[in-house]
Amino acid sequence: MPYPLTSVDWALAPACPFARVEQLHDLKLREPPYWHSVARCRQIGIYVPNDRVCTWLARVMTVEGRYVQHRLASAREEDPEAVGYERALGLAIAWFESEPVRSMARNARPIGRAVGLNFCPYGAIYTVGAALADYLEWSRITRSPGSHYNNIVLINFHLSGPVLSEALEDFNARHLRDIAQRLLATHATRARAGISHIDPPADLVRRAKRVFNSIITVLRMAFRYAWDSGQISSDRPLRCLHRIAVSPAARTLFLNRDECRTLIANCTPALARLVLAGLYTGCRVGELANLRVSDVGKEVYGLHVSAFKLGPARFVFLPDEAMAFFLSCCEGKEQGDRILLSDKGKVWKRQHANLFRRAVRQSRLPVEFVFHGLRHTYASDLVRNGVPLSLVARQLGHTDTRSVATTYGHLAEQFREDQIRTRFSPLSMTYQAEARRQGRQLESLWTTVHGGAWRSYGSGLEPAARRLRSSVRTPSEVLEVFGVRG
């Protein structure tokens, strides 16, 4: 049957592992269906719970992040109405393209990494989309592959739609307002659906502001490239692109040592080693995956961490416990071998995510805790134990202490409080005795002000003078969208 018109070329769908009859026979009976992705958010499946049932299914992901599935036809050979894979795929595509499904489902996208802008510039008018397409060609040459790919994803996800067809010469603050409104709506939808776990609303706005600033950065580079290339006669579109101030937020989602041990106990053996490595070093998962035997004890009592993304190479010092862990991981391996591999002996890439989510769930930890939270756990433990912020920043690979101070500064306040309370030299014997007499009252007061929330205690102690103020240059239309008064 002819396939309906769609933004996805179904002929390029990946080969299905159960398309042939003999492959169906090899499937083990089980209650959950077998699924195969023919496009992003579009899957075809086979349901074989017992010897009497074999059914083709299809499912789509809705905009709220839930799956909706549909029965296509029988796949059981004894059934006179049974169909093969090609016919089932045609039925699935017809269902995907039906109006009820298109109205509730997320946009379908081809499987695989995006390689370019989902927009084809046309006509004599130089549009915003044309400027972005030209910039991406330049970005492909001048930026790292990872940075270039991030630009593609950011543009395709947040800048699709009518704005790409607008003449670049006419771009103004109203277009920025539309981008900001769409951005907030996307974050709100994902939060309601439980996809991004953003709570409270202030965090939603803060994250939306950060993404908005990333979009502004890309637009600046694209518009600047268009201006330098002589594609526009005025730099006015550039002059309306201003970032919005984002108030710093203290990081409170990290684990204590008991929670760390529980998490490790619920991991697979290889994932447990990866988690331990993250807790011992504060390294990102990509940095850990790239570690080789030759990096252990290279020039320092610790690790040599190779350059990753835009970050330079660095050394991470280790305690004896961590050094013993890494040396044990190196046993029986050659100098060029990777230290940490998956349970299947593969290089860690993205396969850790689902395994980590399952371990978090089994450990009864907050569902929003992700692998990167181990980096925050590492830093928070050091800060709480009095390690200077400058040293923590060096261990994490930051060039200065601003990010560390913003994220973990309240934990340093806890250490400051503890040091002052316990290390102050006695001054008055009278009030020493009074303090002993009021011991219970003082302890009760200390417990009251802490309130049991040790992760967030002290997060409001930052001096007001250091708090960020809203940028007066940000267009008022954008400030209104984010609820900021000019």
Final residue of a structural domain among 394, 423, 452? 423
Stated as kind and residue range, the H or E segment containing 59 is strand 53-61
SS3 per residue for 451-477: CCCCCCCCCCCCCHHHCCCCCCCCCHH
**Which residues are within 8 A (CB) of 395 and not within 5 positions of it... i.e. 6 or more apart?**
281, 282, 316, 317, 379, 382
Final residue of a structural domain among 187, 217, 239? 239
As a whole number of angstroms, the distance between CA 394 and CA 202 comes to 30
Length of the chain: 486
Strand order in the sheet with 42-50: 34-39, 42-50, 53-61, 67-74
C-alpha distances in Å from residue 370, one per residue of 67, 214, 255, 294: 22, 22, 11, 29
pLDDT of amino acid 268: 93
Does residue 209 form part of some domain?
yes
Q: How far is CA 44 from the centre of its chain?
A: 27
Per-residue pLDDT of the chain in tens (486 residues, 90 and over written 9): 333 334 567 777 788 899 988 998 888 898 889 999 888 889 999 999 998 999 999 999 888 778 899 999 999 988 888 999 999 999 999 999 898 898 888 888 777 667 777 777 777 889 998 999 999 999 888 888 878 888 888 888 888 778 888 899 999 888 888 888 888 877 666 555 444 444 445 567 777 888 888 999 999 999 999 999 999 998 889 988 988 887 666 666 788 899 999 999 999 999 999 999 999 999 999 999 999 999 998 888 889 988 876 678 889 899 899 999 999 999 999 999 999 999 888 998 888 888 999 999 999 998 888 898 899 899 888 888 888 888 888 888 887 777 777 776 666 676 677 777 777 677 778 878 888 888 888 788 777 776 666 566 665 555 433 444 444 467 676 777 666 655
Does residue 478 form part of some domain?
no
Q: Are residues 156 and 288 in the same domain?
A: no
pLDDT of amino acid 203: 66
- Evaluate whether 111 touches 39 at the Cβ level (below 8 Å): yes
What would the two tokens of residue 485 be? 């008064």
Q: Are residues 303 and 195 in the same domain?
A: no
Does residue 273 form part of some domain?
no
Does residue 474 form part of some domain?
no
pLDDT of amino acid 187: 66
Q: Are residues 134 and 235 in the same domain?
A: yes
pLDDT of amino acid 456: 63
Final residue of a structural domain among 396, 423, 450? 423
Backbone angles phi, psi at 236, to 5 degrees: -55, -40
Q: Are residues 65 and 138 in the same domain?
A: no
Bridge partners (DSSP) listed for residue 34: 46
CATH classification at residue 40:
3.30.160
- Evaluate whether 232 touches 211 at the Cβ level (below 8 Å): no
Residue listed under structure tokens 């972005």: 132
Q: Are residues 158 and 41 in the same domain?
A: no
C-alpha distances in Å from residue 153, one per residue of 218, 396, 445: 11, 26, 51
As a whole number of angstroms, the distance between CA 314 and CA 305 comes to 5
Q: Are residues 317 and 235 in the same domain?
A: no
- Cite the DSSP H helix spans in 166-235: 173-192, 201-228
Does residue 122 form part of some domain?
no
Q: Are residues 99 and 169 in the same domain?
A: no
pLDDT of amino acid 329: 92
Residue listed under structure tokens 């989510």: 357
Check residue 8 and report its DSSP letter.
Answer: S
Q: Are residues 79 and 141 in the same domain?
A: no
What is the sign of the dihedral through the CA atoms of 130, 136, 139 and 140? negative
Q: Is 436 exposed, middle or buried (0-12, 13-18, 19+ CB in 10 A)?
A: exposed
**Which residues are within 8 A (CB) of 93 and not within 5 positions of it... i.e. 6 or more apart?**
3, 4, 6, 10, 38
- Evaluate whether 48 touches 29 at the Cβ level (below 8 Å): yes
Residue 60: which of 30, 90, 39, 75 has the closest Cα? 39
Residue listed under structure tokens 């920025």: 176
Q: Are residues 70 and 146 in the same domain?
A: no
Does residue 264 form part of some domain?
no
- Evaluate whether 384 touches 419 at the Cβ level (below 8 Å): no
As a whole number of angstroms, the distance between CA 421 and CA 105 comes to 58
Q: Are residues 19 and 89 in the same domain?
A: yes
The domain in which residue 357 lies consists of 278-423
pLDDT of amino acid 103: 87
C-alpha distances in Å from residue 37, one per residue of 22, 112, 329, 444: 20, 11, 36, 58
In the chain, the number of structural domains is 3
As a whole number of angstroms, the distance between CA 311 and CA 412 comes to 25
CATH classification at residue 314:
1.10.443.10
Does residue 228 form part of some domain?
yes
Q: Are residues 169 and 48 in the same domain?
A: no
Does residue 215 form part of some domain?
yes
Check residue 351 and report its DSSP letter.
Answer: T
CB atoms within 10 A of CB 311: 15
What would the two tokens of residue 208 be? 């939306």
Q: Are residues 38 and 90 in the same domain?
A: yes
